[in-house]
Amino acid sequence: MQQIDLYGVFLPTLLVAALMAYAMFLALRNGLARIGAYRFIWHRPLFDVALYGVLLGLIGYVLKWLLY
């Protein structure tokens, strides 16, 4: 597993991916709430966890493709 060097501080790749996914998740959640998409979703917390998981997996895949 590769680590990311940020000015001499080594960060685990999973931490960087999780922070990026969380930032994207907050933006998507606010966008979905603004357009009223949550009216059609049965269980909002479950949907939010699944959305975060999908974003984390997507970012992990992209980082793996870029770093290796």
Phi, psi of 17 (to 5 degrees): -65, -40
pLDDT at 53: 97
pLDDT digits (tens, 9 = 90+) for 30-61: 999 999 999 999 999 999 999 999 999 999 89
pLDDT cut 90: percent of the chain above it? 66
Phi, psi of 7 (to 5 degrees): 55, 45
pLDDT band at 1 (very low <50, low <70, confident <90, very high): low
Max Cα–Cα distance, the chain, nearest Å = 46
Helix (H) or strand (E) holding 24: helix 13-35
Token pair for residue 66?
Answer: 């870029």
